[in-house]
Structure 1
Amino acid sequence: MATIEECRDALEKFSDTMRGAQGDARDAAALDRSVSCYITDLDVCFAGRMTGGRIVVDETFPGAPPRKAQIRLTLAGDDLLALVGGELNFAKAWGAGRVKLEAGLMDLFRLRKLL
């Protein structure tokens, strides 16, 4: 089972990957939105902002997100590590119900370029 520190590191690694995005993915990474990532098996939520091509985690909360972010990701810690490590395909994980991504319709269209 992934730890809170491993999940935070995975989010940082994903953020670094976003910063180096090119083309359409770069446009998607340039969104300025509030973000939350709820890790179900650890019952912890990372909250912050996607801005400047990065995800900046400002706070970590016990339990579910205390407020509704514009982009919300919900998954198990091991799945987060596998997604960021390239071992788990986002579309397959989403289709199987292992990953939940919630955002406005236009944001979802843009975010798909990152995934």
Structure 2
Amino acid sequence: MATVEECRQALDTLSERMVAHAAELSSTVNLDRRMVLRLRDLGVAFRGRMNDGAITEIEPGDDPKARIQIELTSDDLVAMVDGQLDFARSWAAGRVSVKANVLDLLKLRKLL
């Protein structure tokens, strides 16, 4: 099981990668949404904002009204960021749960 600090570092790394992907994709991934990432095994959540391809304003805490809600385990988060776990396959297999409208989900998938 990954630690809360390892998960926070993984989120920062993920945000950096998403910014790079957003720059490549231009305006096709314009998202400005509140988001929350819940780590099932640790019982913690991080909230923030997706803006211009980046996850900003990351802080501990839940946000039940977030337009994008992602749930997974700490190990799966770290494995995805390390490139050992594919987001789409994990989502299809039920390892990752995403609550978002369809257009946001498609844009999010492009960034990941």
Q: TM-score, normalised by structure 1?
A: 0.87
The alpha-carbon deviation at position 68 of structure 1 amounts to 2.1
Report the counterpart of residue 111 of structure 2 in structure 1.
114
Q: CA RMSD in A?
A: 1.6
**By percentage of residues, which structure has more helix?**
2
Amino acid at match of 1:82: A
Aligned residues of 2:35 and 2:63 also touching (Cα < 8 A)? no
Unaligned runs of 5+ in 1: none
**2:98 equivalent to 1:96:** no
Size of the aligned set, in residue pairs, is 110
Report the counterpart of residue 3 of structure 1 in structure 2.
3
The alpha-carbon deviation at position 66 of structure 1 amounts to 4.3
Unaligned runs of 5+ in 2: none
Report the counterpart of residue 17 of structure 1 in structure 2.
17
Q: Distance in 1 between matches of 2:56 and 2:83?
A: 21
The alpha-carbon deviation at position 32 of structure 1 amounts to 0.7
Question: 1:41-56 maps to which residues of 2 (within 5 A)?
Answer: 41-56=41-56
The alpha-carbon deviation at position 83 of structure 1 amounts to 0.5
Amino acid at match of 1:69: A
